[in-house]
Amino acid sequence: MASALDVMVNCTVCIVTCDGRTILGTLSGFDQTINLILKQCRERVYSPEAGVEEVELGLYIVRGDNVAVIGEIDEEIDQSLALADIKAQPLNPVVH
């Protein structure tokens, strides 16, 4: 998986963590255990009653064992989303 991340360095990525969090940021680096370094990072908090809230995190490190999914974001499409109108249940944590 580490070689697949090479093409995502300096790109905007979305990470879904094993505890159900959704984190977006610019992938700055990673190591062999998929520990990720993100800059200009923010968390999207979903709610069934209100729209999506974005919490600024700045520079952030995500441990590799907490990464469930990682993917590159198309920034143009992402900026066109009306986050205030999106309502969704938060993800449940992964249970082993």
**pLDDT score recorded for residue 3:** 72
Domain 2-74: give its CATH architecture.
Answer: Roll (2.30)
Cα dist. 82→52, 53, 69, 76, 86 in Å? 9, 11, 23, 13, 7
Q: Is the pLDDT of residue 1 over 90?
A: no
Q: What pLDDT score does 23 carry?
A: 96
Higher-pLDDT residue of 90, 15: 15
Q: Show the DSSP H helices in 1-96 as ranges.
A: 2-5, 75-80
Domain residue ranges of the chain, discontinuous segments joined by +: 2-74
Look up the pTM and report it. Answer: 0.86
- Encode pLDDT of 42-94 as tens digits: 999 998 888 899 999 999 999 999 999 999 999 899 889 888 888 888 888 87
Both tokens assigned to 47: 């709610």
